[in-house]
């Protein structure tokens, strides 16, 4: 295997408009509508793809009929210039911060939050 082994992630939501607004405003980006691959998938909005010379994986917000959302399982970390800035945006857009920015040694800093749908997310920066 070469490169990043994580090729895709999905964040399950119940209220797509609320979740879409949360991520676009918190991370300062635009999500792109995807065609839904299956009958039970009501809606999908993709995160922008990364730059070819950088690590990372892309994924989407996914609304599934009677599907789950909330804390548990895998946590996605989003790259930030300064994760304290995005942590402030989490609060401002309906989420909660579980742990404010803290150092993780030579690997930079992280903050841990919960989005407006109850999903645990991580924010990572090198400064």
Q: Are 116 and 90 in contact (CB under 8 A)?
A: no
* Predicted local confidence at residue 35, as pLDDT: 82
Residue 50 pLDDT greater than 80, yes or no: no
What pLDDT digit, counting tens, does each position of 68-104 carry?
Answer: 788 776 789 999 999 999 999 999 999 999 999 999 8
0.85 exceeded by pTM: no
CA-CA-CA-CA torsion for 55, 75, 118, 22, nearest 10 degrees? -10
The class of domain 8-125 in CATH terms is alpha beta
- Write the DSSP assignment of 39-90 as a string of letters: TTEEEEEEPPP--TTS---EEEEEEETT---SSSS--EEEE-SSHHHHHHHH
CA-CA-CA-CA torsion for 11, 105, 53, 32, nearest 10 degrees? 20
Who contacts 114 (Cβ-Cβ below 8 Å, separation ≥6)?
71, 90, 95, 96, 97, 98, 120, 121
Per-residue confidence at 27, pLDDT binned at 50, 70, 90?
very high
What percent of the chain clears pLDDT 70, i.e. is strictly above it?
91
* Predicted local confidence at residue 17, as pLDDT: 96
* Predicted local confidence at residue 18, as pLDDT: 97
Domain spans of the chain, in order of start: 8-125
* Predicted local confidence at residue 70, as pLDDT: 82
């Amino acid at each position: 295997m070469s490169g990043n082994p994580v090729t895709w992630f999905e964040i399950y939501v119940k209220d797509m408009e609320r979740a879409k607004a949360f991520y676009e405003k918190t991370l300062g980006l635009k999500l792109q509508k995807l065609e839904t691959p299956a009958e039970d998938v009501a809606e999908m909005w993709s995160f922008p793809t990364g730059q070819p010379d950088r690590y990372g994986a892309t994924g989407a917000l996914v609304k599934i009929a009677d599907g789950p959302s909330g804390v548990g399982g895998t946590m996605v970390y989003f790259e930030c210039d300064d994760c304290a800035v995005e942590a402030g945006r989490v609060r401002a857009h309906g989420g909660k911060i579980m742990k404010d920015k803290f150092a993780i040694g030579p690997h930079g800093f992280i903050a841990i939050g919960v989005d407006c749908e109850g999903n645990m997310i991580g924010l990572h920066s090198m400064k």
